Amino acid sequence: MDVYFYEVFEEEARLIKSLIGRRLEFGLTDRTIQESGHREPPARLISVRTQSVIPVEWQDRLSGVLSRTTGFDNLKAFRRAINLPVALGYLEEYATRAVAEQAILMMLALLRKLPRQMEQFRRFDRDGLTGAEARGRRLLVVGVGRIGGEIVKIGQGLGLQVRGVDIVRRHDFVEYVERDSGLAWADIVICAMNLTDENYHYFSYDLLKKCRPGVIFINVARGEHAPLADMLRLLKEEHLGGLGLDVFEDEPEVGTALRSGQVEESEGAVIVAELLGCPNVILTPHNAFNTEEALERKARFSVEEIFYFLEHGNFRNSV
């Protein structure tokens, strides 16, 4: 077999099959590596997404691993753990607009109390459903790279007051501020940072307590930025007025526990289950990238990278 794909959802599978056709022998599954039960790799080249944990003992049976994502924290962890020269690759940017729109979608839904509106429709009950308009609200974007810059532009277009926090001030359309003053000012905080050793658990309980009570917090970057236990505590204390998460701390474990129905097996999944009971919370399954346009680019880039690897023995975007 030339290549085996893990974590392939239905729409992605259709695109991959149509793009590869009969040019390669390949297999695929919707499961992660750890859920698949595979004791050894089905091919010398495998492709994963963010939730697969690549076994260290596979290193001598792999030539390459392609992550069908622009983030590759799982590949970096694998690289640190191995001592053989396995080629590791990732994709160029394909979903900036999609992720930015998801962040704004969550913001608008939380401002208008959409989860509670949908629940109370069953009783046609409007009590407690008075929301807020976006225009004039204060939005702080933390991490103003490609995605963060797009979030700023959309927010400005909606009439929000928008400021940004970043150690690199690359955009001339962003009003940059220092972190603590921005947090004290904001009605909404959106995390769009890349993950580094320095910003692990960045949005801790203590940091978000610097925000005004009732702040809405949204994370579309990496789950490790926002500890789940801290998010739940801030909600219970009513310091957070709304929470939107598309990414989760310990996501491989949390995702596996939720899919298997064995929530009690994961501390993170237990917290997620409690968050799901909160009327001012929106949780999505790391799906911000998933638009027709972005998915077409993602599948095409993946297949192109695989053919490049099979010809050259390395990846164009290499870890």
Q: Please list the ranges in the chain whose pLDDT falls under 70.
A: none
Chain center to CA of 281: 16
- pLDDT value for 247: 98
Global pTM value? 0.95
- pLDDT value for 59: 97
- pLDDT value for 193: 96
The verdict on 44 and 105 lying in the same domain is no
The verdict on 176 and 209 lying in the same domain is yes
- Domain enclosing residue 110, as ranges: 96-283
In a domain, 318, yes or no: no
The verdict on 185 and 235 lying in the same domain is yes
- pLDDT value for 61: 98
The verdict on 117 and 262 lying in the same domain is yes
The verdict on 191 and 304 lying in the same domain is no
The verdict on 245 and 264 lying in the same domain is yes
The verdict on 111 and 256 lying in the same domain is yes
The verdict on 90 and 141 lying in the same domain is no
The string of DSSP codes covering 135-171 is TT-EEEEE--SHHHHHHHHHHHHTT-EEEEE-SS---
CA distance 52 to 215: 33
In a domain, 22, yes or no: yes
- pLDDT value for 95: 97
CATH number at residue 117: 3.40.50.720
The verdict on 204 and 153 lying in the same domain is yes
- pLDDT value for 149: 98
The verdict on 266 and 143 lying in the same domain is yes
The verdict on 192 and 260 lying in the same domain is yes
The string of DSSP codes covering 217-241 is EEE-S-GGGS-HHHHHHHHHTT-EE
Q: What is the number of domains present in the chain? A: 2
